[in-house]
Amino acid sequence: MDYTKVKLPTHVAIIVDGNGRWATNQGLNRSAGHKEGFLNLKKLTKYIFNKGVSYISAYLFSTENFKRSKVEVAYIMNLLTDKLNEILEFCHEEKIKAVFSGRVTHMSDKVIKTMEKLTEETKNYEGKTFNICFGYGSHAEIIDATKKIVNDVNNNVLNINEIDESIFNRYLYQELPPIDLLIRTGGEQRLSNFMLWQLSYAELYFTKTYFPDFKEEDFDKAIYEYSSRDRRFGGINYED
Ligand code: IPE
Ligand code: IPE
Ligand code: MG
């Protein structure tokens, strides 16, 4: 696809879904699906950034996913720590700044240290920001932001009358531009507690394809569709 002829989103978010079903369909255990999803995410991330997108938010583990079996949760947590060197090498090669969104309350010290190392080592890269939503829940994020705001108001760091949309955005886990395009793989048409604030005017794109099978050409299709959408933001495009 000719990327010079399409409207490109600044911030793309992906709900990485369908790993488990992809594996089950192949007669593999669910963990094999997460491993395959990880490999695909790396390839896809490289492709998306190189097409000119500046921000990618990937939903990899939700606050609700702790309800899953101990084995599955441990596998996903270990994936991050086991692949740390590979992820670091990838970020350095591609000059990607990695940031995290989520609550670390139920995470092990090992996982927390991994996140800190990744963030610290890539913090000076500019232009490509990869927001890893891990242990993320949008309700938790909004509550955490509210608590930080109340704290700052109580300590006279923030005046209550100053609070507006852009100030509130600053108190979220990461201060990022709004999401332009949300892609959810795996067939479900819901948000599953993802980025309720940041998605307020995003274009939504749902596909039945399981994430490990969602390739570069599938992303092209999503961009093509996005590019044809008329984003009005409540106004009217009078030239149409
Ligand atoms: C991967 O997809 C993303 C996570 C929630 C960890 P799933 O593990 O939800 O796969 P399905 O939806 O059961 O197929
Ligand atoms: C959403 O997928 C969370 C992530 C992709 C990390 P789920 O598989 O957990 O969502 P539901 O259960 O179908 O809503
Ligand atoms: Mg799922």
> Which token pair is 216?
């570069």
Is 118 or 238 the better-scoring residue by pLDDT?
A: 118
Task: Tell me the backbone φ, ψ of residue 27, rounded to 5 degrees.
Answer: 75, 20
Pairing of strands 203-206, 129-136: unpaired
- Using a 6 Å cutoff on CB, does residue 193 contact ligand 2? no
Whether pLDDT at 156 is above 70 = yes
Atom of ligand 1 nearest to the CA of 34: 1
Whether pLDDT at 1 is above 90 = no
Closest-CA residue, ligand 2 atom 8, reads: 17
Report the mean per-residue pLDDT for the chain. 97
- Angle ∠(117,92,174) on CA atoms, nearest 5: 55
Kindly report the number of other CB atoms within 10 A of residue 19's CB atom. Answer: 26
> Which token pair is 42?
């790396």
pLDDT in tens, 77-121: 999 999 999 999 999 999 999 999 999 999 999 999 999 999 999
- Which pLDDT does position 238 carry in this prediction? 84
Residue 24 to residues 17, 21, 75, 80, 143, Cα–Cα distance (Å):
13, 5, 16, 22, 36
- Using a 6 Å cutoff on CB, does residue 186 contact ligand 1? yes
Task: Tell me the three state secondary structure of residue 43.
Answer: helix
Task: Tell me the backbone φ, ψ of residue 46, rounded to 5 degrees.
Answer: -60, -45
- Sheet containing strand 129-136, edge to edge, reads 97-101, 129-136, 55-62, 11-15, 181-184, 203-206
Instruction: Report all structural domains of the chain as residue ranges with CATH numbers, in order of start.
Output: 8-227 (3.40.1180.10)
Q: Is 109 a catalytic residue?
A: no
- Which pLDDT does position 195 carry in this prediction? 98
pLDDT in tens, 188-237: 999 999 999 999 999 999 999 999 999 999 999 999 999 999 999 999 98
- Using a 6 Å cutoff on CB, does residue 115 contact ligand 2? no
Q: How confident is the model at residue 240 (pLDDT cuts 50, 70, 90)?
A: low
- Using a 6 Å cutoff on CB, does residue 60 contact ligand 2? yes
Dihedral angle over CA of 189, 194, 200, 201, nearest 10: -60
Spot the catalytic one: 19, 40, 65, 156: 65
Q: Are 66 and 54 in contact (CB under 8 A)?
A: no
15, 19, 30, best to mutate for ligand 1 pocket (most atoms within 8 Å of CB):
19
CA 73–ligand 1 middle distance (angstroms): 11
User: Which ligand neighbours the alpha carbon of 64 most closely?
Assistant: 2
- Angle ∠(33,36,37) on CA atoms, nearest 5: 85
Considering the entire predicted model, what is its pTM? 0.97
Closest-CA residue, ligand 1 atom 13, reads: 20
Percent of the chain at pLDDT exceeding 70: 100
Q: Is 2 a catalytic residue?
A: no
Closest-CA residue, ligand 2 atom 9, reads: 65
User: Which ligand neighbours the alpha carbon of 188 most closely?
Assistant: 2
